[in-house]
Chain A
Amino acid sequence: MTVPATEFPTRWKRPPLFIKNSTTRRLVYGGLLVYVIAAISTVDVNWQRAYEGLDRGWLFVLGFLTPDFLTRSRDILIGLQESLTMTVCATVVGILISVPIGIGAARNLAPPPVYIVCRAIIAASRAFQEIIVAILFVAMFGFGPFAGFLTLSFATIGFISKLLAEDIEEIDEGQAEAVKATGASWLQLVNYAVQPQVMPRLIGLSLYRFDINFRESAVIGIVGAGGIGATLNTSIDRYEYDSAGAVLILIIVIVMLAEYLSGVIRKKIQ
């Protein structure tokens, strides 16, 4: 095609970032817009109630800025103690159960029937939210941290087993073959060829899960499974926002600490 030099475009327009075809693009964007408008129209806001609530919102902000650790110090301490012990126990027990299940769910180590059973366990553990599991366990085991411990252990299994199984499936097969060539048994294969390769990752995952378990332990107390969540729930129900602020600050500080420490440990190990 011959184009006179003067007809070269002097202005450049960026091509669309997604969906090159302009009709489809407009249809997709238009459809999304219609949905968002429909969704917003379903939100029925009681402005009167919200306006009255603003005072309470302000009280909460004030409570957060001037937290009251003392009035409810006993409840807060018990809640924290329950949350922390629950988290430690659930993480340890959860990982102890996860390791065999994770090995069983790795295609390169387990025979097909075991693989299917382990994958089913993982799917069952991941399907439901911690809070729903907690409701069931509280109904079965009664109120208190024991139900919370079971909930967190159950949730840990799905998380750790799944990621561990994926790690095992991605190991360097060369090392496994080398160990097999020495005439090693299946257990020796796991111990000498697989374990050293996945151990750093497993420790990293465990620390990460510890972090998650603590966060969740702050929530399942709302349905009666013990922990700091119960304390928080009570103080909000009684409109004691300064105590609630204190609890929230403690949660944030502990989560930040756990995240920082696990980062340091992970760096040392890897």
Chain B
Amino acid sequence: MPVIATSTPGVPTWRKRTSRAELLHWLGWLALVALFVFCWQVMTKDTIWAFVSDAPRQGGDILARSWPPRWSYVGELLLPLWDTVNMATLGTLAGIIVAVPIAFLAAANTTPSTMIVRPIALFVIVASRSINSLIWALLLVSILGPGLLAGIIAIALRSIGFVGKLLYEAIEEIDVAQVEAVSATGASRMQVIDYAIVPQVLPSFLGISVFRWDINIRESAILGLVGAGGLGLKLQASLNVLAWPQVTMIFIVILGTVFLSEWVSAKVRHAII
């Protein structure tokens, strides 16, 4: 807020803020700096600085040992790669199947009851979003045993929140006129959803799904670290025996897959939106 203050008599000076706003601003920054310093001290109280100062040497050492990548290892990675992609795709599919009804229950304009059903659906969405797929995988591996199934369910559980949230927001933003037009023909509730809402949200729904699939490819590549199958299993195995050239090779394969999936999802989104 620009104000005219006269610091020297007779000469107006332009200032960005009033004194009060300036003070509040200053206090805000002070609080932030104080919080940071406090957190920094708590965080580093157990840090062994000798290890930290040694890190560049360690890093150089690891780098020297991981190059060149072991190209002959690629053959062993093909099957885990196929598993990783399948885990991402099936997990996304399963997540979508659960997320769609939840999104309709959560959207203010399609939910059967704003008092009971909507808060429950919103809670499901938030709970699923707060927990990373790696944590879901950790739990599921301990329950179902190691393997692809645990990974697929972990991916699905995490996707519910993401797809559900974006989809219910899309449903709430639809054009009401079309809904009214279809209801005016005497359509039932389901028919209104089918003919007035679904066609409107379908493009964003597909966009969201492909986007989530792309994210899931990245996530499924590392789920093996906790035993859920795919490339992560190979990564864990190679890390355990400190086979750094193999680790580099796995990183290269993961990077390639991630770039490819990003390209595919960008193409598909471009085609439908």
Contact = CB atoms under 8 A, between A and B. Distances in A.
Interface stretch (A107-115, A154-162, A212-220): A212-220
Contacts, number: 145
Contacts of A237: 142
A39 interface: yes
B46 interface: yes
A221 B82 CA distance: 28
Interface in B46-75: 46-48, 51-52, 55, 58-59, 62
Contacts of A256: 126, 130
A45 B176 CA distance: 46
A149 B36 CA distance: 13
B43 A244 contact: no
A17 B199 contact: yes
Given A88-B39, A144-B47, A49 B144 contact: yes
Contacts of A239: 142
Interface stretch (B3-11, B105-113, B214-222): B214-222
A127 B255 CA distance: 7
Contact of A141 (B55, B149, B251): B55
A56 B127 contact: no
Interface string A126-138: 0111011001100
Which range holds the interface residue count of chain B? 35 or more
Interface in A201-243: 215-216, 218-219, 222-223, 229, 232-233, 236-237, 239
Nearest to B223: A131
B258 interface: yes
Interface stretch (A68-76, A77-85, A179-187): A77-85
B160 interface: no
A88 B43 CA distance: 10
Contact of B58 (A39, A43, A140, A244): A140
A222 to B, nearest CB: 6
B134 A131 contact: yes
Given A39-B90, A141-B58, A236-B138, 14 more contacts: A40-B90, A43-B90, A49-B144, A53-B143, A56-B142, A85-B40, A92-B36, A129-B219, A131-B222, A140-B59, A145-B46, A145-B47, A229-B135, A239-B142
Interface of A: 14, 17-18, 35-36, 39-40, 42-46, 49-50, 53-54, 56-57, 60, 81-82, 84-86, 88-89, 92, 127-129, 131-132, 135-136, 139-142, 144-146, 149, 215-216, 218-219, 222-223, 229, 232-233, 236-237, 239, 244, 248, 251-252, 255-256, 259
17 contacts: A43-B90, A45-B147, A49-B144, A50-B145, A50-B149, A56-B143, A57-B144, A88-B35, A139-B62, A142-B52, A216-B132, A218-B132, A222-B134, A229-B135, A237-B142, A252-B127, A256-B126
Interface of B: 32, 35-36, 39-40, 42-44, 46-48, 51-52, 55, 58-59, 62, 82-83, 85-86, 89-90, 93, 126-127, 129-132, 134-135, 138-139, 142-145, 147-149, 152, 195, 199, 202, 218-219, 221-222, 225-226, 239, 251, 254-255, 258, 272
